[in-house]
Amino acid sequence: MSLTVDAKPTLVLLHGWGYDKACWPSSMLEQLELTYQLIMVDLPGHGDDVFIADNRSCIEQLDQWIISTKSHLPSHYHLLGWSLGGQIAIRMAHGDDRIKSLALMATNPKFICNGHWPKAMSKELLTQFERDYQTIPGKTLRRFASLQAQGCTKPKTQAAQLAMLMHEQPQKAFGLQLLRELDERNHLSQLSQPCFIELAQDDILVPWQWVSQITLPDTAQINYVAGGHSYLLERGSVETAMVKFFQNRTGP
């Protein structure tokens, strides 16, 4: 007779734009594996994902990708999303009780600013990224890496390391469309799951001040850290506050 050992709960990791599931630092993964069974997912158009854009709106296409992705995930799981991955995590969790908690890192529910949402990236800058990625993708990725590295301890070194993690793929342009169109503010406000939101104080892509412009759910916990947009990849580990958040959610 063999004894059955309870399996660890599942944590699904969603990376940011321009990267793929191989971007996560091995030391961070080892840290998380103490508590969770990990599943790293490539965002649509990134890495090994087979997504191909069509003539529907980018939101419709994303929702179809979410349905397809969920069909391959366990019956219950937790989500960790960074940047664009965090926006998608919010959309995945809305109204889905199979998702037990979310950790959002350097995530803005609406990435682009307007008159009613000033603490975000300018539409003009993102439009330039979209245009440049069509013609000079390598240079565009390197510029994006430089912006992410601002606020880090050694920005030039960090930018070079980030650029090595981002590979040219034409279909990644779809992710830039999502950054322009996604607005997950209502979904975030309506979340019923525990939600850990971590923001970097010197992040020029996702200003931490956006949290004062929205009504967050009672289940949300905010944590501020030093560094820029890529602080997680620079440190290679999760903060103590996030570890405690994870430890309190080790059920199925």
Does residue 2 fall inside a structural domain?
A: no
Residue 251: how many other CB atoms lie within 10 Å: 9
Number of domains in the chain: 1
Does residue 1 fall inside a structural domain?
A: no
Angle of helix 123-135 relative to helix 173-181, nearest 10 degrees?
170
pLDDT digits (tens, 9 = 90+) for 33-57: 999 999 999 999 999 998 888 999 9
Does residue 102 fall inside a structural domain?
A: yes
pLDDT digits (tens, 9 = 90+) for 190-238: 999 999 999 999 999 999 999 999 999 999 999 999 999 999 999 999 9
Q: Where in the sequence is the domain holding 156, given as residue range(s)?
A: 10-247
Does residue 252 fall inside a structural domain?
A: no
Does residue 199 fall inside a structural domain?
A: yes
CATH number of the domain at 227, please.
Answer: 3.40.50.1820
Whether pTM > 0.85 for this model: the answer is yes
Does residue 5 fall inside a structural domain?
A: no
For the range 73-76, what are the long-range contacts, defined as Cβ-Cβ under 8 Å and sequence gap of 24 or more?
73/10, 73/12, 73/39, 74/10, 76/9, 76/10, 76/100, 76/252
Does residue 139 fall inside a structural domain?
A: yes
Does residue 3 fall inside a structural domain?
A: no
Average pLDDT, the chain: 93
